[in-house]
Chains A and B, each alone.
Chain A
Amino acid sequence: MLKLIARRLALLPLILLAVAAITFALTEISPFDPVDAYVGAESGVTPERKAEIAHARGFDQPLHERFGRWVANVAQGDLGTSVVAGGQPVAGEIAARMSASIALVGGALVLVLVGGLVFGVLAAALRGTFFDWLVRTLCYFNTAAPSFWVGLLALYVFSIELGWLPAGGTSDPRAVESGGIDLSHLILPMVVLAMTQYAWFTLFVRNTLLEVLREDHVQFARAQGIGEVAVLLRYALPNALIPFVTLVGTHLSELIGGTILVEAIFGWPGLGGLTLDAALGEDIPLLLGITLCASVLVVLGNLLADVLYRVMDPRVREAAT
Chain B
Amino acid sequence: MSAGGALGASLPVGGRRMADAVRRWPVSMQVAAGVLAVLVVVALLANVIAPLDDAAVDLDRVLEGPSAAHPMGTDEVGRDLLVRVLHGVRISLGIAALAALGAVAVGALVGVLAGTLGGRADAVVMRVTDVFASQNHLLFGILLLVLFRPALGGAGAVMLAIALTHWPTLARIVRGELMSLRERPFVAAAVGGGASRRRLARRHYVPHLLPAVGLAFVLTVAHAIFHESAYSFLGLGLPAHQASLGNILNDGQRSLLAGGWWIALFPGLAILAAAMTIGTIAEHWREHLHPRWRSELEL
Contacts and interface: CB of A to CB of B under 8 A. Distances in A.
Contacts of B275: 143-146
B234 A261 contact: yes
Interface of B: 127-128, 131-132, 134-140, 142-148, 150-151, 222, 226, 229-230, 233-236, 249, 252-253, 256-257, 261, 264-265, 268, 271-272, 275-276, 279-280
Contacts of B230: 146-148, 261
A30 B146 CA distance: 9
A2 to B, nearest CB: 23
A302 to B, nearest CB: 8
Given A156-B264, A276-B234, 7 more contacts: A29-B147, A30-B147, A141-B272, A143-B279, A146-B230, A146-B275, A261-B230
A254 to B, nearest CB: 7
A295 B134 contact: yes
Given A152-B264, A294-B136, A30 B148 contact: yes
A279 B236 contact: yes
Interface of A: 15, 18-19, 22-23, 26-27, 29-32, 140-141, 143-149, 152-153, 156, 160, 253-254, 256-258, 260-261, 264-265, 275-276, 278-280, 282, 284, 287-288, 290-291, 294-295, 298-299
A280 B138 CA distance: 14
A156 B235 CA distance: 20
A284 B142 CA distance: 11
Contact of A294 (B128, B139, B150): B139
A152 to B, nearest CB: 6
A140 B276 contact: yes
Nearest to A22: B131
A280 B236 contact: yes
21 contacts: A18-B128, A22-B132, A23-B143, A26-B143, A145-B268, A145-B275, A146-B249, A146-B268, A152-B252, A153-B268, A257-B136, A260-B138, A260-B234, A261-B233, A279-B146, A279-B234, A282-B146, A288-B143, A291-B139, A294-B135, A294-B139
A253 B168 CA distance: 15
B272 A156 contact: no
A144 B235 contact: no
B143 A19 contact: no
A229 to B, nearest CB: 30
Contacts of A149: 249, 264, 268, 271-272
B147 A19 contact: no
Nearest to B132: A22
Residue of A23, A143, A149, A294 ringed by the most chain B CB atoms within 10 A: A149
Contacts of A22: 131-132
Interface residue SS majority, chain A: helix
A31 B252 contact: no
Contact of A15 (B134, B226, B234, B257): B134
Contacts of A280: 235-236
Nearest to A23: B143
Given A22-B132, A144-B275, A279 B151 contact: no
Contact of B256 (A15, A143, A152, A258): A152
Across chains A and B, which 3 residue pairs bring their CB atoms closest together, nearest first?
A144-B275, A30-B147, A149-B268
Contacts of B146: 32, 278-279, 282, 284, 287
Contacts of A287: 142-143, 146
Contacts of A291: 135, 139-140, 143
A153 B262 CA distance: 11
A282 B157 CA distance: 14
Given A140-B280, A144-B279, A152-B256, A19 B131 contact: yes
A153 B150 contact: no
B55 to A, nearest CB: 25
Contacts of A275: 139, 142
A128 B229 CA distance: 35
A313 to B, nearest CB: 24
A26 B268 contact: no
A217 B207 CA distance: 41
A152 B252 CA distance: 9
A147 B127 CA distance: 31
Contacts of B229: 146
A285 B275 CA distance: 35
A31 B131 contact: no
B134 A264 contact: no
B134 A253 contact: yes
A210 to B, nearest CB: 14
B139 A156 contact: no
A156 B249 contact: no
Contacts of B257: 160
A258 B137 CA distance: 10
Contacts of B140: 291
A32 B147 contact: yes
